Structure 1
Amino acid sequence: MKNLNMISRRSFLKAALAASAVSAMALTGCGSAASGTVSSAAVSSSAAASGSAAATGETFKVGIVNYVDHASLNQIVESVESRLDAIGKEKGVTFDYADYYANAQADQSNLNQIGADLVADGVDVIVAVATPTAATMLAAVEDTDIPVVYSAVTDPAAAGFDGEENITGTSDALNTDAIMNLIVAANPGIDTIGLLYDLSQDSSTQAIADAKAFCEKNGIKVVEKNGTTTAEVQMAAEALVAAGVKAVFTPTDNTIMTAELSIYESFIEAGVQHYTGADSFALNGAMVGYGVDYVQLGEATADMVSQLLCDGKTPADLPYQTFDNGIVTINTETAEALGLDLAALKEAFKPYCTEICEVTTAENFS
């Protein structure tokens, strides 16, 4: 797999080479395998206009933009790429994403530059992973016909994407009440729950509001702590430990996910159970991850890309997709370190989920 820490291959080339050399390399890297093949942009427009399927041998430029390097989003990128490879073999076409991958590393200026680069490259579609990425890519393609397919946008309507003509994708919306029920099931009589999240993350807004409503309804106090960087998240986690909470909830928050490897041991040492909105948190040490299957999310995103490029569909033809929540992922190492009986924990969780998976901490996963 490519190095996911790269900000942008094209930006790197621009910094390293003269503009003319970069242009030459771009033309070489993006050309068709056989001479005389119509350009992918022209083919895409033709296919969309006619509603016909793509012809064997066609090549499509697929921009893939990752918001930040962390487990959930990396899973999506890998899943999108592997699914596109499989679809390409089935249909006899090529999805060239390797030349158009970029990781913004949670930097808005990077996102802006990446969007401009991809539009200048004439990509046929942009896959935008996470809400900030999708918003920036949608702005970048405003005066073009390039569609945007997002993945892991928690609330497309709140983000302003629902109803936009040139964007569609997949949502990882979280059933917050279900995960709060897991906390209560494992801790009968719990009177205080910590909330750990980044105030600037749109993906956390609704889930945190739902968590507060759940706690108010059930007479549970909340202690809120926030962070926008890993260092701030570490301090926030320490503050929750100092406050004496025994369980902490985090939604599908990119900032906390990125910092999970830096905080999970502190929570274990303090006897704090961390319940989170994605299985990848559990892979990085949190006790429980709950939510959608990010591999499935990536595959569905790739299927939408294929429908746009190969089947003549438009974003308006493809409403955004949501997925059934209900998969609980337990980090067995963390649960055991917290002194919990795994069999009893699974039994307590059964009424609130459709599936229970077990993982151990994989520090090279993020």
Structure 2
Amino acid sequence: MKTMKMISRRSFLKAAMAAAAVSALGLTGCGSSASSTASGTASSAAASSAAASEAGQTFKVGIVNYVDHASLNQIVASVEERLDEVGREKGVTFDYADYYANAQADQTNLNQIGADLVADGVDVIVAVATPTAATMLAAVEDTDIPVVYSAVTDPAAAGFDTEPNITGTSDALNTDAIMNLILAVNPGIDTIGLLYDLSQDASTQAIADAKAFCDSKGIKYIEKNGTTTAEVQMAAEALIAAGVKAVFTPTDNTVMTAELSIYETFTEAGVQHYTGADSFALNGAFVGYGVDYVQLGEATADMVVELLCDGKTPADLPFQTFDNGIATINTETCEALGLDLDTVKKAFAPYCTEVVEVTTAENFS
């Protein structure tokens, strides 16, 4: 893959390969024989995997991140760490460093990255976030290269559950649970702000669920949207001007990218920001609730290993969802909002399985 401006930490030294070479280099392997239920092209790839199994093997793992922000970067780091761990255990190498790219939320970049990874003959592509997964799936058409996605909120709505060459992990959000957290701290609240990007697939169902929840409780809601950090900042200010005291954002990549720019605006106005991932809280939001992104990344990496080392195909591996239930409180924001941490934790207790405390930082360490 050529070095491109949107690639943050990679330099490819290998020339593009012919289409026939891409096919020949499909799946290689390091483990047990392919499943007897596999058929067609996938079966051939799995058979090649079994025949080639040996210590010292190197697998080319493309990892494509949609955009830089704490949630997605955390997934990438977790995938890489898990692949390194399994590689040491099995005596093989998962080469992701030469095949990592960040599209910076640009569709043109995604298209180019997908084409380059196919030309490089990678053995698998890990696609982080829904737009990435859709683009990589299109890129590998007519090849044997499987796609393993991570942080796709609604795989069925994206059409991935009917595609034979893609599987992965979902960060679907239990919206009612996080809305209950808002009411637990604010039992008399009459209006809730909804902050999201209309173009983000990850937000569609969650926002619909939030509206239904509000309707069922007789609570008004005010919607504000943004597609860039500047627009999200203006939307946040508009919600403050409207007088809301609590704002809900689902697992929205655009708002996540902007969180470091808006959390102080909300906090200084006394507005509690409830969000669909722990990494929002890391970046200053009052509360994040939902999937553990370290666990999500590890599970994604394990699926990669099953494909490359165990002769599995994507069709053998249904996509995975994870139990919600972890509430992450930013203790600095909690204090700045004038809330007592112990009181908040006690209010949350009936609605979550665990409460985690964090302070504001740019990324997870």
Which residue in 1 is equivalent to 2:175? 176
3-state SS of the aligned residue for 1:313? coil
Q: Is 1:40–1:59's contact at 8 Å kept on the other side of the alignment? A: no
Could you tell me how far 1:163 is from its partner in structure 2? 1.6
Q: CA deviation at 1:7?
A: 2.1
Distance 1:354 1:364 in 2: 24
Counterpart of 2:35 in structure 1 is none
Q: What is residue 14 of structure 2 aligned with on the other side?
A: 26
**Within 2, Cα distance between the matches of 1:348 and 1:170?**
31
Query: What amino acid is the match of 1:43?
Result: T
Divergent runs of 4+, >6 A: none
In 2, Cα distance between the equivalents of 1:9 and 1:122?
21
Taking a change above 3 Å as real, the CA distance of residues 314 and 356 of structure 1, as seen in their structure-2 partners, is: same
Aligned partner of 2:28: which letter? V
- Cα distance in structure 1, aligned partners of 2:317 and 2:143: 19
Q: Which amino acid aligns with 2:198?
A: L
Q: 1:242-288: per-residue Cα shift (whole Å, max 9, x none)?
A: 00000000000000000001100010111000000000000000000
Q: Residue 43 of structure 1: CA displacement?
A: 2.9
Residue equivalent to 2:33: none
Distance 1:95 1:349, change over 3 A: same
Deviation at 1:40, TM superposition (A): 5.8
* One-letter amino acid of the counterpart of residue 356, structure 1: V
1:143 and 2:142 equivalent? yes
- 1:198-233 CA distance string (max 9 Å, x none): 000000000000000000000000000000000000
Contact 1:40-1:61 at 8 Å conserved across structures = no
- For the residue of structure 1 that corresponds to 2:161, the secondary structure is coil
Q: Where does residue 348 of structure 2 map in the other structure?
A: 349
Kept in 2, the 8 Å contact 1:47–1:310? The answer is no
Structure 2 Cα separation of the partners of residues 158 and 110 of structure 1: 24
- Cross-structure match for 2:28: 43
1:264 counterpart = 2:274? no
Counterpart of 2:325?
326
Query: Aligned ranges for residues 239-278 of structure 1 at < 5 Å?
Result: 239-278=238-277
Q: Residue in 1 aligned with 2:101?
A: 102
| Cα 1:220–1:160 shift into 2, 3 Å | same
Distance in 1 between residues matched to 2:78 and 2:205, nearest whole Å: 27
Q: Offset of 1:310 from its aligned partner?
A: 0.5
Q: Please report how far the alpha carbon of residue 57 of structure 1 lies from its aligned counterpart in structure 2 after TM superposition.
A: 1.1
Distance in 2 between residues matched to 1:163 and 1:93, nearest whole Å? 32
Does the aligned pair in 1 maintain the 2:72–2:128 contact within 8 Å?
Answer: yes
Q: Which residue is 1:55 aligned to?
A: 54
Q: What is the deviation of 1:51?
A: 7.0
Give the letter for the 1:192 counterpart.
T
Q: Return the alpha-carbon distance in structure 1 between the equivalents of residues 94 and 85 of structure 2.
A: 10
Read off the aligned partner of 1:284 and give its amino acid letter.
N
Aligned to 2:36: none
Alignment of 1:168-317 (within 5 A): 168-317=167-316
Q: TM-score, normalised by structure 2?
A: 0.90
Q: Say whether the 8 Å CA contact 2:26–2:45 is kept in structure 1.
A: no
Alpha-carbon distance between aligned partners in 2 of 1:363 and 1:82, rounded to the nearest angstrom: 19
Partners of 1:364 and 1:124 in 2: CA distance: 29
Query: Retained in 1: the 8 A contact 2:70–2:362?
Result: no
Match of 1:76 in 2: 75
Q: What displacement does 1:301 show?
A: 0.2
Are the structure 2 counterparts of residues 111 and 321 from structure 1 closer, same or farther at C-alpha, using a change threshold of 3 Å?
Answer: same
Letter in 1 for 2:47: A
Displacement, 1:169? 0.1
The residue aligned with 1:159 is 158
Tell me, yes or no, if structure 1 residue 90 matches structure 2 residue 89. yes
TM-score, with structure 1 as normaliser: 0.90
CA apart distance, 1:47: 6.2
The match for 2:37 is none
Q: Distance in 2 between matches of 1:303 and 1:346?
A: 33
The 3-state SS of whatever aligns with 1:312 is coil
Q: After the TM superposition, which residues 109-148 of structure 1 pair with which residues of structure 2 at under 5 Å, given as runs?
A: 109-148=108-147
The letter for the 2-side match of 1:66 is N
- Over the residues paired in the alignment, what is the CA RMSD in angstroms? 2.0
Number of paired residues? 341
Kindly provide the CA deviation profile for residues 51-90 of structure 1, in whole angstroms up to 9, marking residues without a partner as x: 7383211111000000000000000000000000001011
Cα–Cα, structure 1 residues 6 and 305, in superposed 2: closer, same or farther, change >3 Å? Answer: farther
How many angstroms does 1:27 deviate by?
A: 5.8
